[in-house]
Amino acid sequence: MPFYLKEVDIIPEVEKCKSALIVICRFCPAASLAARKEEPYIEFFRRFLNTNSYEQLINNMQYRLEAKGLKTDSFRGGLLNFIICMWTSGIRQKLLKVASQYEAIVVMGCEAAYQSVCNILASTDCKIFSGMESEGVLEAIPKFHLPFSISLELNSVTPIHFPDQDEPEINP
């Protein structure tokens, strides 16, 4: 089951930099936004593996950062590397090379994705920001629609207990 994530407004922190690379995990964030907004998770023939609500969030973040004068781009793993915490060594090396051209890195994923990117970029001077945080584990019921579209009906969110935090408030 994917983590149920919510976006964090990191623009005020990141805008202090000159450039930002948005590193995208396509699993938990996309599933979370699709379930929360009651929009399709996969529209295979329209968007392939891109979830519209998630793409809008990323585009909005990029637009807001560019409006503040930052150079931005996004890094999207690849077809077989769409979950950050399971990236191959090849895609990790590619991120290391691309990220060296940016001052800030914004990770759009769970805490494990954030930690993976921190580990990959440990040898750089990049400032790494988490653009999302976990609220719990998402339990959803997949709904199939023609022509090959999948939506996720939010069934429940099981809270995650972090040692240094109070119990998160869940409002699906």
Q: What is the pLDDT of residues 121-152, one digit of tens each?
A: 999 999 999 999 999 998 888 888 787 778 78
SS3 content of the chain, % helix, strand, coil (to 5): 35, 30, 35
Q: In degrees rounded to 5, what are phi and psi of residue 112?
A: -65, -40
The confidence score (pLDDT) of residue 152 equals 85
Question: Which pTM was predicted?
Answer: 0.84
The confidence score (pLDDT) of residue 172 equals 53
Q: In degrees rounded to 5, what are phi and psi of residue 106?
A: -110, 120
Cβ–Cβ under 8 Å, residues 114 and 58: no
| β-sheet bridge partners, residue 150 | 42, 144
Residue 152's CB: how many other CB atoms inside 10 A?
Answer: 25
Q: In degrees rounded to 5, what are phi and psi of residue 89?
A: -65, -30
Q: Which residue has the tokens 């995208």?
A: 24
The confidence score (pLDDT) of residue 126 equals 96
By CB atoms closer than 10 A (0-12, 13-18, 19+), residue 50 is middle
Query: Of the candidates 122, 159, 143, 155, which has an alpha carbon nearest to the alpha carbon of residue 39?
Result: 143
The confidence score (pLDDT) of residue 113 equals 94
For 41, residues 6+ apart whose C-beta sits below 8 A from its C-beta are 30, 31, 34, 35, 51, 142, 150, 151, 152
* Segment 27-42, tens digit of pLDDT: 889 889 988 988 887 7
Which residues does the chain have with pLDDT short of 50? 167-168
The confidence score (pLDDT) of residue 158 equals 86
